[in-house]
Amino acid sequence: MRILPLALILSLTACAQQPPRDDSLYQALGGQAGITRIVEGMLLNIAGDRRIVRHFEDIDIVRLRDKLVEQICAEAGGPCAYTGDSMEESHKGQQLTPSDFNALVENLQDAMDAEGTPVPAQNRLLARLAPMRGQVIER
């Protein structure tokens, strides 16, 4: 009988020792609703961007939207878990160039501007997404 209470105490202690998740960026982006609006705005911007729209012609745009929302939510410290493919797998065979990547980032920034996202929050998000550049270009 003593094992169960001890196990319970140990598990509660372990939970109590974990640092709280920093969701300040998630909150600055407007939470789930704000991130969804940013992603949808970015996709609308891409639809009108002749530089890169061709890369999005044969994809399931609803699935892409959902996975981008998950990914940004997770990267921003929100309660989401990204369930999509790796960046390498998602972009395999597309031979994306640095210019393509930069155009997408411009469309994301324009969407964040339109949403009224503060520049420091934009910079924090872009810094978290920047490491993906090498996983996307020329794959």
* DSSP string computed for 2-37: -HHHHHHHHHHHHHHHSPPP--HHHHHTTHHHHHHH
The span from the CA of 1 to the CA of 77, in Å, is 39
Is 123 within the bounds of a domain? yes
> 87 Cβ partners below 8 Å, 6+ apart?
132, 135, 136
Range of the domain at 28: 22-136
Tokens representing 114? 């339109």
Note the pTM of the prediction, 2 decimals: 0.83
Domain count, the chain: 1
What is the residue-level pLDDT of the chain in tens, covering all 139 positions?
A: 445 555 555 555 555 555 567 999 999 999 999 999 999 999 999 999 999 999 999 999 999 999 999 999 999 999 999 999 989 998 888 889 999 999 999 999 999 999 999 999 999 999 999 999 999 987 6
Is 15 within the bounds of a domain? no
